[in-house]
């Protein structure tokens, strides 16, 4: 009689090669989310002209219309992810936001575009918390910041693709086609997630076995879990400082991503294609390199002193501030030639901004996962994302748009109103640096006490 072959468990499939593949697919999904989320930034001027929108309305479309549902739904979806199959949730989420992005191309006024953007936010609510949780089960504490930094490359790759493709497609075929081109490929990524990834056992990277089954979900249990998630992040002083720091950083970052292309077009007379051609590789390549360096440097230094998990970010935040100030305030920017190509000083200044500005992602996400119990990691991630996205993603672009409209109308600054709105909000990086530094002061004690 032939001997039966024992079934292969998910844990048996998690080889070093599979870990790299799974992380790569999750990066692909995260990249798709940031292409679809940030595509509005390069389309600001044609959208304003075609649909007759104000900066305040553009800020709403870039921020609150997306962030309110994205942040709010992230918490119940994370609770679901902590109790069920994370892979399937991620796959379904990618399919939803991809289709809704394509539908943005059919909008004919502010409200139909706002509804489609809300749909994008609903879809993206199901991506990051379960992805963070899966990565934490694939990579242990000593590798986690680096893995999260690699995952965070999706931010920069997504913005790069959105800027480049959006800029050129808009110039050649119009803004509607740009939404179609960046949205529909996400459906293929959803299929890759669903049919090529496995659900890792909880605590696999730390040698822990699956925990007992959960009791049936009730409204009382649901609200209690949410309260526990907020309490966990607030009661741990290090986690509290990380959340405040990442929220302030996101406020500045999302405002800059949403309005940076419009600033270059209005103030410096560039075309959408020109902005996309130069800004895309700076954000994608230099920013992605910064995320990797920040994560790897943090992993290296934190082996000697755990406080470097957040101190690396604090130093990077402060170091970027002088370059940001000059970038926004310079008027007469000279150009020099490299290999026959004229390169503006403006783009040279943006290199350290993009590099240093990306240091925060991997260490921030890793610290929240490290300081959280196994079965609460997706929820902790969702609570952190709720706060930073509601304030950072929701209010960052909105506040910049409102300030720009006010400065234009009440102070007569014209196109320079956007310059000063961006400069003012960018100075919040100094405040963010303080919280990352303070987090490091408490981190050693809280990590030794256990999550």
User: 10-residue block means of pLDDT along the chain (451 residues)?
Assistant: 54 79 94 89 87 87 82 81 87 95 93 92 87 86 80 85 89 92 93 92 67 61 75 81 92 90 87 86 87 88 87 95 92 64 79 92 78 70 81 89 90 84 95 94 68 42
Q: Residue 244's closest CA among 253, 256, 234?
A: 234
Instruction: Give the span between the Cα atoms of 260 and 18, in whole angstroms.
Output: 38
Domains of the chain in sequence order: 15-201+225-449 (1.20.1250.20)
Asked if 355 contacts 202 with a C-beta cutoff of 8 angstroms, the reply is no
State residue 421's pLDDT score: 94
**For residue 365, what pLDDT is reported?**
77
Contact 429, 252 (CB under 8 A): yes
Please tell me the distance from the alpha carbon of residue 399 to that of residue 421, in angstroms, as a whole number: 8
Those residues with Cβ within 8 angstroms of residue 24's Cβ, 6 or more apart along the chain or in another chain: none
pTM: 0.73
Give the pLDDT of residue 448: 60
**Cα separations in angstroms, 302 against 138, 239, 280, 422, 444:** 20, 16, 32, 33, 10
What is the reported pLDDT for 451? 42
List the structure tokens of 370.
Answer: 């490290």
Residue whose C-alpha is closest to residue 249's, from 261, 260, 241, 237: 241
């Amino acid at each position: 009689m032939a001997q039966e072959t024992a079934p292969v468990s998910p844990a048996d499939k998690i080889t070093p090669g599979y870990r790299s593949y799974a992380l790569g697919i999750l990066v692909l999904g995260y990249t798709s989310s940031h292409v679809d989320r940030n595509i509005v930034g390069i389309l600001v001027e044609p959208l304003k002209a075609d649909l007759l929108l104000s900066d305040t309305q553009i800020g709403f479309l870039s921020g609150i219309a997306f962030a309110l549902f994205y942040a709010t739904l992230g918490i119940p979806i994370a609770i679901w992810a902590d109790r069920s199959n994370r892979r399937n949730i991620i796959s379904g989420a990618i399919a939803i936001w991809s289709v809704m992005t394509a539908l943005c191309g059919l909008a004919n006024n502010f409200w139909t575009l706002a509804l489609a953007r809300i749909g994008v936010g609903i879809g993206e609510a199901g991506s990051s918390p379960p992805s963070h949780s899966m990565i934490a089960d694939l990579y242990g504490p000593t590798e986690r910041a680096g893995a999260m930094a690699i995952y965070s490359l999706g931010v920069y790759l997504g913005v790069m693709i959105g800027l480049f493709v959006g800029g050129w497609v808009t110039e050649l075929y119009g803004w509607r086609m740009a939404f179609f081109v960046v949205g529909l490929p996400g459906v293929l990524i959803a299929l890759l997630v669903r049919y090529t990834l496995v659900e890792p056992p909880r605590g696999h990277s730390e040698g822990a076995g699956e925990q007992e089954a959960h009791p049936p979900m009730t409204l009382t249990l649901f609200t209690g879990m949410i309260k526990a998630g907020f309490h966990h992040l607030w009661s741990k002083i290090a986690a509290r400082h990380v959340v405040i720091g990442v929220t302030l950083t996101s406020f500045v970052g999302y405002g800059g991503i949403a309005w940076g292309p419009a600033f270059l077009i209005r103030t410096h007379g560039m075309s959408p294609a020109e902005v996309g051609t130069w800004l895309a590789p700076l954000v994608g390549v230099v920013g992605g390199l910064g995320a990797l360096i920040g994560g790897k440097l943090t992993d290296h230094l934190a082996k000697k002193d755990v406080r470097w998990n957040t101190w690396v970010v604090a130093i990077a935040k402060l170091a970027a501030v002088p370059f940001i100030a000059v970038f926004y305030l310079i008027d007469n920017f000279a150009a020099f030639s490299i290999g026959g190509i004229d390169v503006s000083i403006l783009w040279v200044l943006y290199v350290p901004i993009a590099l240093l500005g990306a240091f925060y992602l991997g260490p921030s996400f890793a610290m929240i996962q490290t300081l959280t119990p196994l079965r609460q990691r997706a929820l902790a991630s969702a609570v952190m994302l709720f706060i930073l996205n509601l304030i950072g993603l929701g209010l960052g672009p909105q506040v910049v748009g409102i300030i720009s409209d006010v400065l234009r109308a009440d102070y007569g600054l014209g196109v320079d109103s956007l310059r000063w709105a961006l400069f003012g909000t960018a100075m919040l990086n100094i405040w963010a640096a303080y919280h990352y530094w303070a987090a490091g002061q408490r981190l050693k004690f809280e990590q030794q006490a256990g999550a």
